[in-house]
Amino acid sequence: MSHLDDILKSRRDTRHFTTDEVPDEVIQKALQAGHWAPSVGLTDATRYYIIKSNEVKCAIKNLFLDYNKKAEELTDNPEQKELYRSLKLEAIEEAPIGLIIAYDRSVLNQFTIGTIGSNEAVKFSSVCAAQNIWLSLTEQGYGMGWVSILNYYQFKKILDLPENIEPLGYFCIGKPATNYGNQPMLQQLHWKQKSETADCKEITEIHKINISNFDSTSSNKVENKTDFNSLLQEKIDSKTKPVGSLGTLETLAFQMATVFETLNPKIIKPNIVIFAADHGIANHGVSDYPQDVTRQMVNNFMEGGAAINVFCKQNNIELSIVDSGVNYDFPTNANLINAKIAKGTQSYLHLPAMSETELNLCFEKGKSIVENIVKEGSNCIGFGEMGIGNTSTASVLMSLLTGFSIDECVGKGTGINDEKLLNKQNILKKALKNYSGQAELKQQIAYFGGFEIIQMASGMLTAFENKMLILVDGFICTVAYLIAFKINPDIKKNAVFCHCSAEKAHQKLLNYLDAKPILNLDLRLGEGTGCSVAFPVLKSAEAFLNEMASFESAGVSRK
């Protein structure tokens, strides 16, 4: 077989192999074909790992079985579920050779041609290599099957792959036992029919993008309501207790009533919103976790398995999940709000994290999300976040906007060790040194910002405009609040700082903002968990103000 069309048409995602061995020269020829594939910026970032050990294959097979069970549960259609169970989707133990095709994201530590639009171009290059290998094996009379139903974090851990190595998946290689009736296996088994021709349309016109510029000033000022405040304070002081004896609960009750503009405040339809996005800086080893954990955790939120899900359910709080810019395409019917700006920001080590257009779009999206929640009748909103690498982004923004040194603003984030902390500090110092832009808020947050952080800042400003109680979670959310505060300092009247996190810089930032947190539980999870855990305290403040007897109604003498 030598004709290219025949090779292309006969290439199969093989799941059934004979017991024939695969000669070394076949593998070497295929790997050479992979090496000839295009490589963005000539990075040569593709890496290969050969697997022959039965023990290793068995461990990988177990990972597959675990995730395959989860995949099976994603459909509620009994017939589809039964058909899925019947499919053979791997040959990890049967295939003579296992091949891991991966890419080295550390190449992004240096300026790389072709990655300014998307750092995924490095991954795409490795996919091209995988296809070349597939075609080479097909031409030699062998086959390959791609196994991607894996927990990639565990996959990397059990194989002890370096942190900077990101696998595309596990590939089974051997002599095909069948050609599936000269068609894709899934088509042969009636799972899905492959279209006959490519879907291609010609684009003949340009559509203008209308994105309004955000205003870094706010005209909405809180009126001085001396009479109302006096009545409110009298109501609090007249409860059957010594003045001030309920401490922070009295402060919260006063704040709540002021925000809602009523002496009988009630929290209605509380909603915690998790904004999730990826960060280009994560490609430089600033976190203990790979970037894909962002996507995994968003799935966990949607499946109800995270801490925030448990706490929201416990306290009857609505939970909303926002894709602000995760490096993944979620299904269109996923239970989340699609506010994706791009698949992660650029690495601000070399260039701006986002363009001015993307910055304006972040403000537009954040505003729209909160406005929709307001329309549903909510008057209390909590802000949470998820994004591998976002503590680095928050640290840089804190340093720029407060004047603190970067060393004072950098912490261990997801729990990195001292060596990685030093590396993180050095990378962020280099990023700040490389910045030559203006010392203006708009330019700074565009260069160093995160999509989820800017959307949260916009959402907080919108919540203030709509007279909502604003619950601020930990370090990253407080940095989002810092941005909002720089735009409109009056937002502080609506903000409740739910806790002081274990992240080193959070207490310093709270002090800078003259903010007193409700709790100090050494939390450092994010997700809005601090908001959900502090929520019962707010309900206690509401309850005492509305339900506790006064000296007069109880017939108790005042001091």
Sign of CA dihedral 149, 154, 160, 166: positive
Q: Helix (H, G, I), strand (E, B), or coil: what is residue 33? A: helix
Catalytic residue among 261, 527, 542, 547: 527
Rounded Cα distance, 463 and 445, in Å: 20
Distance (Å, whole) CA 262 – CA 259: 8
Q: Give the Cα separation of 531 and 385 in Å (integer).
A: 11
SS3 380: strand
Whether 112 and 43 have beta carbons less than 8 Å apart is answered as yes
Q: Which residues pair with 253 in a beta bridge?
A: none
301-324: b or e for each residue (b if 16 or more CB lie within 10 Å)? bbeeebbbbebbeebebbbbbbbb
**Cβ pair 142, 59 in contact under 8 A:** no
What is the rounded distance in angstroms from the CA atom of residue 548 to the CA atom of residue 390?
43
Residue that has been written with the tokens 């007897």 in this structure: 549
Rounded Cα distance, 11 and 14, in Å: 9
CA–CA gap between residue 501 and residue 416 (Å, rounded):
16
Alpha-carbon distance of 173 to 57, in angstroms, equals 13
Tokens of 23: 């000669």
Residues 344 and 327 sit within 8 Å (Cβ to Cβ): yes
- Catalytic, 163? Answer no
Scan for tokens 């993008």, then name that residue: 209
Nearest alpha-carbon partner for 39 in 134, 102, 125: 125
**Which residues neighbour 125 within 8 Å (Cβ) at sequence distance 6 or greater?**
37, 38, 39, 40, 43, 45, 46, 103
Residue found under tokens 């205003």:
215
Cα dist. 443→325, 341, 359, 428, 447 in Å?
20, 18, 9, 17, 6
Neighbours of 518 (CB within 10 A): 23
Q: Is the dihedral of CA 383, 386, 391, 392 positive or negative?
A: negative
Can you tell me which residue has the tokens 């395409």? 329
Element containing residue 234 per DSSP (H, E): helix 226-237
Residue 41 CA, distance from chain mean position: 27
The answer to whether 345 and 326 have CB atoms below 8 angstroms apart is no
Element (H, E) at 458: helix 451-465
Positions marked active-site: 527
